[in-house]
């Protein structure tokens, strides 16, 4: 019996009992739809994380304080506060691979200006910061070297700050008071959105680090130094070069550990995407349980079908059908039901992902490999759970089957 003939017989049997077939396929439909929706959520989250990591900057390298030791106990990253402006100057002066270097001096402030006040933070940075973070201005200008050298009280504000302090107004040229110190707003940053951790990047004020150091922070140590390279291929070599410059600047002996930490954009992305991948696999595994439940439903219905069609099986065997033909026939019926259910489930999955995106605003992404995998898995479920009923049908004694009422 050829394959097309088997599929035709299977289709006729399925169409003959429409309601029962639909209820049988329901588990597969729900299972495949759930898998696609869950994977779409995970892939969407992964894509958003990639975008947010990309928003951090181009070929970004981040230097932060390292770990200190007290009584032989490691106090954790960030506890050895030994980064200084001199370190940033040394990196800018001695590094051959870095195309931009900027210290970052952070000062939390209550900003007052325009039509309101807003709790935010001021980041004291260099002129290179705009290129390092790939962050331009939507209006006005970024401060320049002259502003930096003269320690001018100028500020470039993020969109969130602009919306809260100058709602409905043009902030360019207006004043904002930071800890009672008046600053002139010279630019508004392009919107960046949230980071991978959910922090609003637009809730910030940028000012020359020389001004922030003298007027707002007053600390010798800084929490962060940012750098960028000309290409991704140079990042690893640049990290090694930066390590050498900083060890020399801190006068560390060969046997002493680094008192700073250097990370690159790729490492941040890998860590964040690893979390998203685990979440995607977990969601898909949970949704796959529905497929197994659907498979059990198919097995139950196929067993009922074997019982109902015992006499038919006996007639087929009596006129020459072999046990393998009967087994293949029932197996094909099971697979056809699973594949049809899987195809409908794909449509349900696409619709569910679209509705979820519209209602919640969550990012979703569906890839063709996931669709083919879901349909293939549904076919595998049909084979696995349809084999026992098919084998039971093939093992019937033709004489006993003919006597069955």
**pLDDT value at residue 70:** 43
**pLDDT value at residue 308:** 73
What is the rounded CA–CA span in Å between residue 88 and residue 13?
Answer: 77
Phi, psi of 69, deg, nearest 5: -120, 135
Structure tokens at 104: 């970052």
- Could you tell me the pTM of the whole model? 0.61
**pLDDT value at residue 244:** 93
Residue 101 CB: number of other CB atoms within 10 A?
24
**Regions of the chain where pLDDT drops below 70:** 1-3, 5-7, 9-10, 49-58, 67-81, 195-198, 266-277, 279-280, 283-284, 287, 398-399, 401-405
Closest CA to 147 of 156, 135, 138: 156
- Find out whether 195 and 141 touch, Cβ atoms under 8 Å: no
276 HSE (CA, 13 A, CB side): 22
**pLDDT value at residue 275:** 63
**pLDDT value at residue 276:** 64
Closest CA to 307 of 382, 396, 383, 384: 396
What is the rounded CA–CA span in Å between residue 248 and residue 36?
Answer: 53
DSSP notation for 174-185: -EEEETTEEEEE
For residue 250, the 8-state DSSP code is: T
Structure tokens at 223: 């929490």
What is the rounded CA–CA span in Å between residue 128 and residue 110?
Answer: 26
What is the rounded CA–CA span in Å between residue 225 and residue 207?
Answer: 15
C-alpha triplet 203, 161, 118: angle, nearest 5°: 95
Q: Which ranges of 140-264 would DSSP assign to H, the alpha helix?
A: 145-150, 159-165, 209-212, 235-249
Residue with tokens 């019937």: 396
What is the rounded CA–CA span in Å between residue 342 and residue 329?
Answer: 20
**pLDDT value at residue 69:** 46
DSSP notation for 10-35: HHHHHHHTHHHHHHHHHHHHHHHHHH
């Amino acid at each position: 019996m050829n394959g097309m003939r088997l599929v035709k017989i299977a289709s006729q049997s399925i169409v003959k009992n429409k309601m029962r077939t639909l209820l049988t396929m329901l588990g597969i439909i729900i299972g495949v739809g759930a898998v696609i929706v869950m994977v779409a959520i995970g892939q969407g989250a992964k894509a958003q994380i990639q975008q947010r990591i990309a928003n951090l900057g181009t070929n970004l390298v981040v230097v932060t304080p390292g770990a200190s030791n007290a009584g032989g106990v490691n106090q954790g990253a960030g506890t050895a506060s030994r980064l200084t402006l001199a370190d940033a100057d040394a990196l800018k002066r001695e590094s051959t691979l870095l195309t931009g270097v900027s210290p970052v001096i952070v000062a939390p402030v209550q900003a007052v200006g325009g039509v309101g006040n807003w709790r935010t933070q001021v980041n004291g940075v260099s002129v290179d910061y705009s290129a390092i973070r790939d962050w331009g201005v939507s209006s006005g200008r970024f401060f320049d070297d002259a502003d930096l050298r003269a320690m001018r009280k100028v500020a470039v504000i993020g969109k969130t700050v602009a919306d809260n302090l100058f709602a409905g107004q043009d902030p360019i040229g207006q004043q904002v008071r930071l800890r009672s110190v008046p600053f002139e707003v010279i630019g508004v940053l392009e919107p960046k959105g949230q980071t991978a951790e959910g922090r609003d990047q637009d809730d910030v004020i940028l000012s020359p680090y020389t001004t922030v150091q003298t007027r707002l922070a007053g600390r010798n140590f800084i929490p962060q130094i940012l750098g960028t390279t000309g290409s991704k291929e140079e990042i690893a070599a640049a990290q090694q070069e930066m390590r050498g410059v900083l060890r020399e600047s801190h006068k560390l002996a060969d046997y002493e550990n680094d008192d700073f930490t250097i990370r690159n954009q790729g490492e941040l992305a890998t860590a964040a995407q690893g979390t998203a991948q685990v979440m995607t696999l977990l969601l898909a595994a949970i949704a796959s349980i529905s497929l197994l439940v659907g498979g059990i439903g198919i097995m139950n219905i196929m067993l009922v079908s074997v019982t109902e069609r015992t006499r038919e099986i006996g007639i087929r065997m009596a006129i020459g059908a072999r046990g393998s033909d009967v087994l293949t026939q029932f197996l094909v019926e099971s697979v056809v039901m699973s594949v049809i259910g899987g195809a409908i489930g794909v449509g349900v999955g696409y619709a569910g992902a679209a509705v979820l995106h519209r209602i919640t605003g969550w990012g979703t992404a569906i890839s063709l490999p996931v669709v083919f995998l879901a349909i293939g898995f549904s076919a595998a479920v049909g084979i696995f759970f349809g084999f026992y009923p098919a084998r039971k049908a093939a093992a019937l004694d033709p004489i006993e089957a003919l006597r069955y009422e």
